[in-house]
Amino acid sequence: MAVNPMQRRARTSFLLGFIVALIIMAVVVFFLLTRIKALNDAQEALEQLQVKRYVALNDLESGQEVTMEDFTEEIVRTNVDSADVVASDDFEYYDEESGETVPVSKMMKIKVPAGTIVTKDMLDDVDDPTTNDQRIQEYNMFLLPSQLKTGDYIDIRFQLPSGQDYIVLSKKKVMNCTLTGIWLKLSELELLTLNNAIVEAWTIKGSKIYCIEYSEAGLQESAAITYPVSNETMQLINANPNIVEEAKNELWSRYTENEQAMVIQRNTYITPSLQTEDNSKNRDSNIYNENKKEADRIGEARELYLEELGEEE
């Protein structure tokens, strides 16, 4: 039977429209499937980044000593390898003599906020390992920075009225501090060296002992000591059985390597200042007065401390 031309065109148009619709639908379905796969892949990638890592429990300062107790394990999103993150074995070592595992502290090289993943390269060994001759000593005669706080690292310097300036002790951690006093952990050698500088500062009118902070203690190395102790102190150090041989050798090597410079500094600037008529004449009274001032400050701090203990009880 003959087909009406109008019907033929209508049927052809319908078929073409249907085919185009199928093509469009296929393209849309393909696009959606591709998009869904991409989203699934992204989700899987994110899930793979969600791992357990140790992060800082609180804000950590540059130069701060830390132990494993300063970190907590959390689920975080990161691609940092677990081998690069701090772990418990970073804070201990095996002592072959005792056969025991000994806990150790580390130092933060940089400042990090709480919740930050801490990697091994952010840590450094503590510069001041504990030795048998170390003691905690309180000092109340130094000029202190106005913003000094417990945990900061300082150099202790001795300045003459003529402008010469010497580093007596370098990179010492402030164990505690008050308005006028600080507590330091010092070896016998450091105690004798610092006491020598204090007495000479009290003797020489216009001189001072002051402290200066490190800006980034975790990254900065300790400064070289430049203060030349007196001959009497050198002899005392050499004869002191409480000073380990390693420390004595370090002191002697310092003087051997810079003997001429050390001798010049002491003979040209320090000794003549000590021997001026005014300074030598008033030496004993100056030292007595300064000792009394320090004793008074320590006494006042002691009274305040005992009062605080009583309030706590």
SS3 98: coil
Supply the DSSP symbol for 131: -
What domains sit in the chain, N to C, each tagged with a CATH number?
A: 51-125 (3.90.1210), 135-310 (no CATH)
* pLDDT value at residue 254: 67
* pLDDT value at residue 214: 92
CA distance 64 to 118: 13
* pLDDT value at residue 305: 75
CA distance 179 to 144: 9
Q: How many CB atoms lie within 10 A of CB 227?
A: 22
pLDDT tens-place values along the chain, 313 residues long: 555 666 667 667 767 777 777 788 877 877 877 887 777 666 666 555 577 888 899 999 888 888 888 998 888 777 778 788 888 888 887 666 667 777 778 888 888 999 888 888 888 877 666 677 888 899 998 999 989 988 889 999 999 998 999 999 999 999 899 888 999 999 888 999 999 999 999 999 999 999 999 988 888 888 989 999 888 888 888 787 877 676 667 776 666 666 677 878 888 889 888 888 888 888 888 887 887 888 888 888 878 878 777 766 5
Residue 111 backbone dihedrals phi, psi, to 5 degrees: -85, 135
CA distance 148 to 151: 9
DSSP string, 156-200: EEEE-TTS-EEEEEEEEEEEEE-SS-EEEEE-HHHHHHHHHHHHH
CA distance 166 to 157: 5
- Can you give the pTM of this predicted structure? 0.68
* pLDDT value at residue 48: 57
* pLDDT value at residue 171: 93
